[in-house]
Chains A and B, each alone.
Chain A
Amino acid sequence: MSKQPTRTIKVDTLTRVEGEGALYVKLKGDQVQDVKLKIYEPPRFFEAFLRGRHFSEVPDIVARICGICPIAYQMSAVHAIERALGVGIEPSVRLLRRLFYCGEWIESHALHVYMLHAPDFLGYPDAIAMARDHQAIVQQGLRLKKAGNRIVALMGGREIHPISTAVGGFYKAPSKSALKDLVEELKWALDASLATARWVSGLDFPDFEQDYEFVSLRHPGEYPFNEGRIVSNRGLDTDASEYEENFTEQHVQHSNALHSVLRGRDSYMVGPMARFNLNFDKLPDVAQQAARDCGLQVPCRNPFRSIVVRAIELVFACHEALRVIREYEPPPAPRAPALAQASTGQAATEAPRGLLYHRYVLDQSGLIVSAKIVPPTSQNQKRIEEDLWHFVSQVATRPAEEITWKCEQAVRNYDPCISCATHFLRLHLERD
């Protein structure tokens, strides 16, 4: 038998993801020899320079890890610090934080569904090219994204790095009437999200399923944002304070990156698909019905269908935002007092891309002694590579350009945020 030719698929710059990464796939005949998701985004050392900062500065600093999901960083930080200092928050502050998160999910999911992921399914390089043939759809996506941004800007002053989050609550709580101004647009956004779900459920999905361990928060009464236990479909059920006993980072030779794994088990998936599969029963009826109408079943194991799951979470987030605005009464004080003491606190919240873990150790004057941050993309990285190992062999007979695009699409299934991941990922600069 003749020697099988070796082919390499290289994507030097992964596009339509946040941050800088590259992809390298080596094939021998139709056999996958190697898959590397390379991260060349420069490290920024957040955990290091947080040391010595006062706890009250942390929400503003960690927001700068990610311009796409600053609220997620602020939420994990304030909840961890509040747990360290024993600060209890007002019920209406709790509601406001859910609303804030709804805004970020809507903005981030609409961005990903319409501008980053859909162009793959329809064969366009980007949403702007897509708009030439599908103008109404792209305009719907932009308006939906803006509806989420309006919540964030109203509550936080601006869309990116909002300024209102404080340990104990907010610097200023919005009035009831200010929130009411959002209602009409959010009603439109709820309908638009349902339309989004119908639209994306009709896209063509590769026939590809994996047996994932899904990990997300689970709360007894609601679809999770800021509270709940960390659970999986294989029996994990733990508190954030035990996160580091359950999860660990592994050095994988081929990737030069630390991969987060479950101790004694293996890779896992966080994000919309994990949340959806583990918390379907907590979705409101309108979102459950939309999922059924889209043909989504629990568990959904096809990562390409994550675009549909994001659309269902858009339905949820718009519905939840409207519920919060209906129930909201301004708190007596926008934030609870937080007194410095030597302490340690951990928290995990649900960023748009999945579980985001923070731990802070504080000294008696409230300065940070040490910080640990584990972003969702770091946790998904090993799983992304495993998807590629299996997926590439399915498409290995196709032309190189098609394999390349399909691989990029498979990476974008995870909406990876490399900017977030990098301050933690091991980095080895290796470029031609």
Chain B
Amino acid sequence: MSSKVRRKPRIAVFKFASCDGCQLSLLDAEDELLGIAGALDIAYFPEASRSMGTGPYEIGLVEGSITTHHDAERIQEVRRQCKTLITIGACATAGGIQALRNWKDVDEFIRIVYATPKFINTLKLSTPVAEHVPVDFELRGCPINKHQLIEVITATLAGRKPNAPTYSVCMECKRKGTVCIAVAQGVACLGPVTQAGCGALCPSFDRGCYACFGPMESPNTGSLSNQLRILGQNNAEITRAFRSFNAWAWQFRKASEESERT
């Protein structure tokens, strides 16, 4: 027995430690937003609405990394409320730029920023959501690509696998017809180890890729590190290159620790 009027699937947007940019991508889909709102019941999205519908939800989008005890508990509840849990962006999928604390003494960080450290409640590590709960799909990017976000939502509703390639930025450069700046200009570029998704923006702006979308499927970071040395980068620079928005992704973590030790 099915009811005559099909209930719209309910979607929720949750925020943890982040800049808000990835959830803003939903509002930045100016042409599609009212269409999305027609197909889905945007039940919980505090950045956009003061009506906050309680769970359960068909789809939960999670932005941000886990950095406090409270958030480590909250993500468990979020998981229980969401049939499909999708993490959006480098913070939620890799710990974000704030994971740079993971190599430092967080108490020292607190002292640098805050006058009265005892008020600060934070964990020693900034970690991705998947280290805490099972995640159904991880959408990469700092920020995510809004077209990929729409694709992931659409695919989830249709019950198919999202089309979000895991090959490198180099493929996007080739497809765009951008001349390789690493080869032609000797510019340090992380494109060969970075997952596609941005549309290979940086090389088309005459600068090297700085790895917003995190490691590609099987990155050869050792080989790239050698190439960066040939281009004149020292180990400190190579370490910093791997330590940005996806620093805690294990392939980049390993690469930065190798160059730091060298």
> Which A residues are within 8 Å of any B CB, using their own CB?
13-20, 41-49, 51, 53-54, 57, 60-61, 64-68, 70, 111, 115-116, 119, 125-129, 131, 135, 138-139, 142-143, 145-146, 149, 157-161, 163-164, 166, 171-172, 249, 251, 256, 258, 334, 405, 408, 417, 419, 423-424, 426-429, 431
Contact = CB atoms under 8 A, between A and B. Distances in A.
Interface in B1-46: 15-25, 27-28, 30-31, 33-34, 37, 42, 45-46
Nearest to B121: A429
Interface residue range, chain B: 35 or more
Given A13-B52, A53-B240, A427 B28 contact: no
Given A45-B113, A49-B97, A160 B207 contact: no
A27 to B, nearest CB: 21
Contacts, number: 199
Given A128-B42, A163-B201, A15 B244 contact: no
A251 B205 CA distance: 45
A64 B212 CA distance: 11
Contacts of B244: 57, 60-61
Interface string B198-211: 10011011110010
Given A48-B109, A64-B142, A426 B48 contact: no
B214 interface: no
A251 B145 CA distance: 40
Given A139-B34, A158-B201, A171-B207, A66 B143 contact: no
A119 B109 CA distance: 40
Given A68-B21, A429-B70, A126 B122 contact: no
B195 interface: no
A125 B51 contact: yes
Nearest to A424: B113
A423 B37 contact: no
Given A146-B30, A149-B28, A408-B50, A419 B20 contact: yes
A46 B101 CA distance: 10
Given A127-B48, A426-B116, A161 B142 contact: yes
B65 to A, nearest CB: 9
A64 B97 contact: yes
A66 B207 contact: no
B250 interface: no
Contacts of B52: 13, 15
Contact of B122 (A14, A42, A139): A42
A159 B198 CA distance: 11
A49 B210 contact: no
A49 B96 CA distance: 12
B54 interface: no
